[in-house]
Chains A and B, each alone.
Chain A
Amino acid sequence: MLWYIGRRLLQMIPVFLGSTLIVYLIAFYTSGDPILTLAGDKPISPAVADRLREQYNLDKPVLVQWLIYLGNVLTFDLGVGFNNRPIWDQIAAAFPTTFRLAVIAVIVETIFGVIAGVISGLRKGKLIDTTLLMLSLLLIATPTFVLGFLAQFVFGLQLGIAPINVGRDPSWQNLLLPGFVLGGVSFAYVLRLTRTSIAETAGADHVRTATAKGLSRGGVVSKHILRNSLIPVVTFIGADLGALMGGAIVTERVFNVPGIGTLLFSSINSGESPMIVSLVTLLVIIFLLSNLVVDLLYGVLDPRIRYAK
């Protein structure tokens, strides 16, 4: 097991290096002059521009910049942002909000998605199954930002039970609506995956045996059907964490949530490459680690899976 985790961590290194390099190259090679962007409309003297370039290592070749940057990352020194606040502090300030948002979204998609999927899969072809399937298709076909506007309109304006704009230092309660919106599309996918998987497992021999030996319906569903159906669902949720972080950019913009997505978007707009790369690196690390956790969960869900040394 430890060997397996070690090997997987080693495999992550090239993926980590590659994705940061790609984003780094995109952020630098295709950009205009970030110093001019920083200066905005005001003219900037060449001496000041040169000094700023030197300060941010912008005068060195891109590969050298990337290596300097990687060295700094490994010592947890992400540098100072264009607004003179350390990048690490800015990320640390924004992260808890996005983390809460993601927690709500994952809870929504996991708990509600699996429950709805079980109901749907066990009653395949019935009215409730068809209704849930139609709902899931509608959710998948509706882009997150449209879903966000709809939620703002219904829950914010019509019912008045949730704030439209979240604003600074949001509480869990205020993040509830954006969290549901963020988890909405994934909820639909989890529902559909669980449904298919449950419907397949429900007909398996071991389920018939469990019923025949007199186990209650609830026992059969929770111990014999659900556990055997969850592997594709768990795989999806793990891979989905990356997509959730992408979706957070959209959701945070719709609801004005001051999180990682907002930070990323404003840094992309101002061409603040070190910040962009730091954030993307963070998202990639979260993505890779969650995929590792998923692979480890396989063994818990299905004891037949053993990890090669």
Chain B
Amino acid sequence: MRSDAQNARRPRAEHWVAPLAETPLQEVDAADTSTAPRSLWAEAGHSLIRNPVFVISALLILFVLFVAAFPQVFTGQDPRFGELGRANQAPGAEHPFGTSRQGYDIMARTFWGARTSVIIGFFAMIGSTLIGGTIGALAGYLGGWFDEVVSRITDIFFAVPLILGAIVVATRLGEMNLWTVILVLSVFGWTNIARIMRGAVISTKGQDYVTSSIALGASSPSVLLKHVIPNAIAPVIVTATVNLGVFIVAEATLSFLGVGLPTSAVSWGGDISDARDALRTQPSMLFYPSVALAVTVLSFIMLGDAVRDALDPKARKR
């Protein structure tokens, strides 16, 4: 039994409420209403610019894009000018990266090669995202038998590895050019986008704002385009960024196998493949295009990683 004096000093727990001024609660609970809440993208952008991985990869990508747009700034040599008289030279004053077996200036080939890789990577990424995004969005949104059929078709393409499918088609198309390579990579590279888009659309279409816009009488295409896709696109963008790097690798691999771009094209894959025979005598021939290729792919993969972390609210809190 407590004495009255004790009760007077200490109020009974269930009735005791600390004065508002003494609690720190209002600071935590009060929402900042002076500015509008930031969207997912604004929030992501905010955390991205403070992420060193993002900054480094973005700068690298800007550099690669600049090289692809203006390779002549970095080298005065013509990448297509081969002279056997100057073949197999070690790096020196006139040719800082040396010359290849065909007497090409390797520095010029390395800088001009960026254009080929960037164009193929970019357009194959656009193509595969359009194919995969459309298929995945329709399958996820419409559901039912359409989803069943489309998902099985996706399985079929998923079961044929990108390189394998591309080789089979590429040999059949005969002489390849930039656009046929892009086409082949798009046709066999869309499945992961389709799967991700389908999953994201299915989880988005159950949201209340989608239900309410349907209830308000919005047509199906408008609900899909205005409400579902904008809210489901984030993971697709991340995968597409990484895919861009994957396509650059795939193009180089096709050129290495001899079924990609013709030998007349300026391509890192072809140059690396050519350097193979000089492995014993002049390994630097292999070094420069390989490093250029690896750095370009690395920067797109790092960018995808950084964007994924930024778009994932769970990862952001840490």
Contacts and interface: CB of A to CB of B under 8 A. Distances in A.
Interface of A: 14-15, 18-19, 22-23, 26-27, 30-31, 137-138, 140-146, 149-150, 152-153, 157, 242-243, 245-247, 249-250, 253, 264-265, 268-269, 271, 276, 280, 283-284, 287-288
Q: 4 closest pairs, A vs B, by CB?
A: A246-B161, A30-B172, A141-B298, A18-B156
A211 B11 CA distance: 40
Given A18-B152, A26-B172, A146 B290 contact: yes
Provide the main secondary structure of the chain A interface. Answer: helix
Interface in B124-167: 152-153, 155-157, 159-164, 167
Contacts of A288: 159
22 contacts: A15-B155, A15-B156, A19-B156, A22-B156, A26-B168, A30-B173, A141-B295, A141-B298, A142-B293, A144-B253, A145-B273, A146-B272, A146-B290, A157-B279, A157-B280, A246-B163, A249-B163, A265-B167, A268-B168, A276-B168, A283-B161, A288-B159
B153 A18 contact: yes
A143 B249 contact: yes
A141 B301 contact: yes
B44 interface: no
A270 B226 CA distance: 50
B168 A280 contact: yes
Contacts of A280: 160, 164, 168
A245 B269 CA distance: 20
A268 B156 contact: no
Contact of B272 (A30, A145, A287): A145
Given A15-B155, A153-B286, A283 B164 contact: yes
B283 interface: yes
A154 to B, nearest CB: 10
How many chain B residues sit at the interface, stated as a range, is 35 or more
A146 B292 CA distance: 12
A137 B253 contact: no
Contacts of B272: 145-146, 149
B190 interface: no
A141 B245 contact: yes
Interface in B273-292: 273, 275-276, 279-280, 283, 286, 290
B210 interface: no
Contacts of A243: 161-162
Contacts of A30: 169, 172-173
B189 to A, nearest CB: 12
Contacts of B253: 143-145, 250
B159 A27 contact: no
A23 B165 CA distance: 8
A288 to B, nearest CB: 6
Contacts of A253: 257
A242 B78 CA distance: 41
A282 to B, nearest CB: 12
B171 A146 contact: no
B120 interface: no
A176 to B, nearest CB: 19
